[in-house]
Amino acid sequence: MRWLVTGGRGMFGTDLVLLLQERGEDVVAVGSAECDIRSLDAVRDTMRDFDVVVNAAAWTAVDDAESHEPEAFAINATGARNVALVAAETGARMVHISTDYVFDGTATEPYAPDHPQAPRSAYGRTKAAGEWAIRTTNPDALIVRTAWLYGEHGPNFVKTMQRLAGQHDTLNVVDDQIGQPTWTKDLAAYVVELVTSGKPGGYYHGTSDGTTTWCGFTREIFRLSGWDPERVKPCTTADFPRPAPRPALSVLRHDAGPAVRRWDAALAEYLVACDH
Ligand SMILES: NC(=O)c1ccc[n+]([C@@H]2O[C@H](COP(=O)([O-])OP(=O)(O)OC[C@H]3O[C@@H](n4cnc5c(N)ncnc54)[C@H](OP(=O)(O)O)[C@@H]3O)[C@@H](O)[C@H]2O)c1
């Protein structure tokens, strides 16, 4: 199969491209300089003769989106629509990466794939608009929601906590948001499995098994790094006001897709991989 990855030089896109290369697949990665997905012409010029296109391109700056919603919309909604439209025209299978931010985060149980979207942030609104645009343009597309991503090829929460650990005796970390930390390498394997197993179009939830809070996640980073986890102190969302509201519950229910391992097992392997 011939794969195209738009946003192929981002944190997730890079891990996906590396996995496909390891598997001997024919894969082309494009960044915004080669294919700006906001332009339908650029997408049409790039998307020739591919069997699968994975759209990993996005405006991902959640807080900045609050003051730049039209710019975020142009990429997350119009851009996603452009890729979906050309995939439908050319017969390529589309995979699109979306987010838990399409939900309001106030539920008391994990979100099912068909739970109604109710975004509370500008970023979430633009990603939800992208999902709708894809569903109406290309119902065969696989829309994979993920959350709390970290990976070797981009700035992320794990790297930030490791850096802060070297600068402070104790760290206050939010303990009232619950989620599923997910390694981009595990998400890449999930996407490849989804495509090669021929799953039908629709929504899928590509996050780790198990749940924790940001504080619990940080304590595990400390424990696995040989540092005292008691240096990590719990605090609340209210202690860290941010421009975009954060979902209290970012836990996605795994109904139809391939299984993903537990978040703490993945974190342990990630930290070893980063050491080498
Ligand atoms: N990070 C998370 O915690 C998280 C959580 C849930 C969902 N997601 C979703 O997961 C996906 C991947 O996220 P990530 O963390 O890997 O993001 P990332 O590292 O920020 O990568 C996004 C890529 O999008 C590309 N891009 C931006 N504007 C573009 C445009 N106009 N045309 C084409 N490409 C453009 C950028 O390419 P250039 O560098 O070439 O400009 C960048 O490499 C996104 O859809 C995101 O919404 C992420």
Q: Structural domain boundaries of the chain?
A: 2-156+180-207+251-259
Give the β-pairing of 178-179 and 182-183.
unpaired
CB of 36 sitting under 6 A from ligand 1: yes
CB of 65 sitting under 6 A from ligand 1: no
Q: What is the pLDDT of residue 103?
A: 98
CATH number of 2-156+180-207+251-259: 3.40.50.720
Distance between CA atoms of residues 154 and 9, nearest Å? 9
Please answer whether residues 247 and 195 qualify as being in contact, where contact means their C-beta atoms are separated by less than 8 angstroms: no
Give the β-pairing of 142-146 and 93-99.
parallel
154: CA distance to ligand 1 center in Å?
A: 10
Distance between CA atoms of residues 164 and 24, nearest Å? 39
229: CA distance to ligand 1 center in Å?
A: 31
Instruction: Encode pLDDT of 115-152 as tens digits.
Output: 999 999 999 999 999 999 999 999 999 999 999 999 99
Q: What is the mean pLDDT of the chain?
A: 97
Nearest CA to ligand 1 atom 18: 10
CA dihedral (42, 96, 216, 273) positive or negative: negative
Instruction: Encode pLDDT of 11-66 as tens digits.
Output: 999 999 999 999 999 999 999 999 999 999 999 999 999 999 999 999 999 999 99
